[in-house]
Amino acid sequence: MLMTDVLRHVWPKRRGIEHYMLLMGIVIVICLTIMALLAPIIAPYDPIKTYVGKPYTPPCTEHLFGTDRMGRDVFSRILWGARSALAVASLAVVIAAAIGIPLGLLSGYIGGPIDRILSLIMDSIYAFPSLIMALAVAAALNPGGATSITSAMINTSLAISVVYIPSYFRVVRATVLSVRENLYVKAAQALGADVLTILTKYVAPNSLAPAIPIISMNFADAILTASGLSFLGVGLPPYFPDWGVDLATGWRDLPNGAWWMSFFPGLMIFLATLAFMMIGDALNELLNPRRGMK
């Protein structure tokens, strides 16, 4: 009953542009997920294996997206790249939300000196240019390169997540400041509820809606930042199939006319970012309580 209510709210009879943005974003994300999941089955070649074809082969029927300077199949690398892109971005967003949201709740509800100190720390992270911040953290986590792919991915995610913690913190804290003044919070206190109950059952469920669009916005940004980090050499190792890595190695061959090596990874980054941006924007619009008043 509730589920259908939600569905009717998200997909009503009268729809605006934001409904179609949401649909398009979701379709692209589902395609990316399928790509990532089925990469081992649908990829025609091993993405890491060199000289599966002649180096610098332009797109043709054998190599849909061509081959790179070491004769690796670009199409296979793109498919496998969806895995690392989604894994790194989702891990980064989950870590950032898992730290930023509870801190924002606590800080906003308790107030006082704890709130002051936390806000100061968050604001100073926020004030720092994000890519430089991520770069610094990634460099600190990966001195001289990570030992394995898994740790490289985790470290990259961590580096990116640090940048996003303040955005969750700020949004949630600001909402809590107004939510905690609601009479139902006082009524809960009058019934003898403790701080933990009030935070988890009364304040949190009413404060999290503004954080949802941020999740998808950050997802988009995380894919870009992860590519940026790999591009700069502090993210994933160069042989690994990753859009950012491929873009970084591919662009050097642009002057030779080998556009396919950087075009396809770039296109994928663009599509993934666009999809998450569209979902974020649409949710932002659809979840706005003042919606429908204009």
Nearest residue (CB) to other proteins, 257 versus 289: 289
As measured in angstroms, the least distance from the Cβ of 1 to other proteins is 9
DSSP code for 291 = T
* Residues forming the site for other proteins (CB under 8 A): 111, 182-184, 186-194, 197, 201-202, 205-206
As measured in angstroms, the least distance from the Cβ of 285 to other proteins is 21
Residues with Cβ within 8 Å of 212's Cβ and at least 6 positions away in sequence, in order, are: 283, 287
As measured in angstroms, the least distance from the Cβ of 233 to other proteins is 46
At 247, the amino acid letter reads L
93, 102, 193, 204 from 109: Cα distances, Å: 23, 11, 14, 10
Nearest residue (CB) to other proteins, 198 versus 234: 198
Nearest residue (CB) to other proteins, 127 versus 190: 190
DSSP 167-227: HHHHHHHHHHHHHTTSHHHHHHHHTT--HHHIIIIIIHHHH-TTHHHHHHHHHHHHHHHHH
Nearest residue (CB) to other proteins, 120 versus 183: 183
Lookup result for tokens 């690796």:
72
Among residues 221, 206, 207, which one has the least CA distance to residue 279?
A: 221
As measured in angstroms, the least distance from the Cβ of 215 to other proteins is 19
Cα–Cα–Cα angle for 155, 77, 218, rounded to 5 degrees? 45
Nearest residue (CB) to other proteins, 182 versus 256: 182
At 236, the amino acid letter reads L
As measured in angstroms, the least distance from the Cβ of 265 to other proteins is 42
Nearest residue (CB) to other proteins, 51 versus 184: 184
As measured in angstroms, the least distance from the Cβ of 202 to other proteins is 5
As measured in angstroms, the least distance from the Cβ of 200 to other proteins is 11
Lookup result for tokens 């939300």:
97
As measured in angstroms, the least distance from the Cβ of 191 to other proteins is 4
Nearest residue (CB) to other proteins, 90 versus 206: 206
Residue 90 CB-density burial (10 A; 0-12 exposed, 13-18 middle, 19+ buried) = middle
Nearest residue (CB) to other proteins, 124 versus 182: 182
Contact between 155 and 104 (Cβ < 8 Å): no
Q: Helix, strand or coil for residue 67?
A: strand
Contact between 213 and 280 (Cβ < 8 Å): yes
